[in-house]
Amino acid sequence: MQRFLLFLFLLMPALTQAQDVILRTSGEELPAKVVRITPDQVVYMTGTDTLQLPATEVFLIRYANGTKEVLGNKAVATTTVPALTPQQAEQLGRSDARQLFKAKGAFWGTCGATFITMSAYGLGGVATGAAIAATPPKDKNLIPSRPELLQNPDYVRGYKQQAQNKKLGKAAAGFGVGAGAALVVVSVAVIVALTQWQ
């Protein structure tokens, strides 16, 4: 019995890391284990609690194995694109991108590349940062305030333009942090070398 409990104790971290993610139509991400999906509801577990959400409130489920499932229930499918002028749709896309788009890799990728290249070779990570910032956001990373807005090309154009600007800002910040950290490391190394040389 003790071996079984020890086995469960050692297995627990692996089980808690592999979780599904429920992306609600509000943009909220909910880490959980999806148990069952019906046309009306999504049943999921968080810890030991079994909960449920109306299927109309769930936009997408990302499973722990990397697959994704967009819920195609009738309530979401029959929703029409709101009547917006092209300018309103583009402005709404920009606003949603400011609030909901996450440029996760832009900051850390540029920061790491800048730090490594400046520390080792005295060069900057400008090229890496430029490449990261110039890469347009992938459609799978667009998180709209309402899923049906992705059917509006003006909304998508505004969203992507603002998301690109956000990536550029994150890459610039990553370059600054990486360059500053590399400068500190190189300065300390030079000071230590000079102190030992004398």
pLDDT digits (tens, 9 = 90+) for 60-109: 888 888 788 887 544 444 445 557 888 988 898 888 888 888 776 777 77
- Please give the distance of CA 41 from its chain centroid, rounded to a whole number: 26
| pLDDT, position 72 | 57
Q: Which residues face 50 on adjacent strands?
A: 45
**Contact by Cβ (8 Å): 147, 25:** yes
Parallel, antiparallel, or unpaired for β 41-46 and 58-62? unpaired
Domain boundaries, given as residue ranges, for the chain: 2-77, 86-197
Per residue in 3-51, pLDDT (tens digit) is: 655 554 554 544 445 588 888 888 788 898 888 888 888 888 887 888 8
Could you tell me which CATH number the domain at 2-77 has? Answer: 2.30.30.100
pLDDT at 151 over 80: yes
At 167, which amino acid appears?
K
Kindly report the pTM of this predicted structure.
Answer: 0.51
